[in-house]
Amino acid sequence: MIPKNFRDRVIAPSLLAADFSCIGEEVSRAIRAGADWMHLDVMDGHFVDNISFGPAVVQTVHESNDIYLDVHLMISRPDHYLQRFVAAGSDMITVHVEADHDVAETLRRIREAGCEAGLALNPATPMSAVEPFLDQIDLLLCMTVVPGFGGQAFMPEVLEKITTAARWREEKNLSFHIEVDGGIDAVTAARCYTAGANVMVAGSSTFRAPSMSDAVAEIRNA
């Protein structure tokens, strides 16, 4: 799988909104609908107020299909569990700056393991928190909802952070994707592209759409 350039639009349906009784088929459906990446939300019931799935499900997805796996770790100790998500077949591993770990060290280990490294920040976290790590990442995830649940409303105040991230990337001559996650549909995606984001995570608006292909195309062409 060839990694995408940060100038490419990437649509990443979130497995959280899929039918868990047939995960492999749901991922195939996303691929047929035109998905570029699969976004996998790992929640530990501690960093966020919900529990989703762990490395075994990541591995199942990895073995059932050939699609780039964008693994979003909403867990308190990403450093402790990192190796298991590497072994499960993750391509991108995104950790939160707010979690309890040495962020620089975790990012270094993700790349050393042969994965791409992502860093996420919650809507309430200022951009200054991620600034020291921008030369160590392949993706910056600006959460557009408070993480924990699918189906929440997009928070427009995050757009300003996307603009800042894109400006810093330009000024510092860096190279990383800017991803948004939470409440993304064709309407909010258009606003995020304009602000400078290129990776759109979309759960409810893709998996629960009458036509997933139409939904993915609408987000891509927004």
Interatomic CA distance for residues 52 and 166, integer angstroms:
31
Instruction: Rule CB under 6 A: say whether 26 interacts with ligand DX5.
Output: no
First to last CA, the chain: 25
CB of 99 to ligand DX5, least distance (A): 14
Q: Find the catalytic residue in 36, 79, 91, 181.
A: 181
CB of 31 to ligand DX5, least distance (A): 18
Q: Are 11 and 35 in contact (CB under 8 A)?
A: yes
Interatomic CA distance for residues 172 and 140, integer angstroms:
15
Strand boundaries in 76-198, DSSP class E: 92-96, 116-121, 139-143, 177-181
Helix 186-195, helix 159-171: angle, nearest 10: 30
Size of the site for ligand DX5 (CB under 6 A): 22
Name which of Zn ion, ligand DX5, none residue 168 binds, using a CB cut-off of 5 to 8 Å depending on partner kind: none
Instruction: Rule CB under 6 A: say whether 181 interacts with ligand DX5.
Output: yes
Instruction: Rule CB under 6 A: say whether 13 interacts with ligand DX5.
Output: no
Minimal CA–CA distance to 220: which of 5, 13, 82? 13
Among 29, 72, 169, 191, binds Zn ion (CB under 5 A): 72
- Determine whether 214 is an active site residue: no
Q: Which of residues 151-210 bind Zn ion (CB under 5 A)?
A: 181
**CB closer to ligand DX5, 59 vs 152:** 152
CB of 172 to ligand DX5, least distance (A): 27
Instruction: Rule CB under 6 A: say whether 14 interacts with ligand DX5.
Output: yes
Instruction: Rule CB under 6 A: say whether 204 interacts with ligand DX5.
Output: yes
Helix 55-64, helix 78-87: angle, nearest 10: 20
Instruction: Rule CB under 6 A: say whether 72 interacts with ligand DX5.
Output: yes
Residues in CB range of 199: below 8 A, 6 or more apart = 10, 12, 37, 70, 139, 177, 178, 179, 180
**CB closer to ligand DX5, 60 vs 174:** 60
- Determine whether 41 is an active site residue: yes
Q: In what order do the strands lie in the sheet with 199-202?
A: 10-13, 199-202, 177-181, 139-143, 116-121, 92-96, 68-74, 37-43
Instruction: Rule CB under 6 A: say whether 30 interacts with ligand DX5.
Output: no
**Which residues lie near Zn ion (CB under 5 A)?**
41, 72, 181
Catalytic residue set = 41, 181
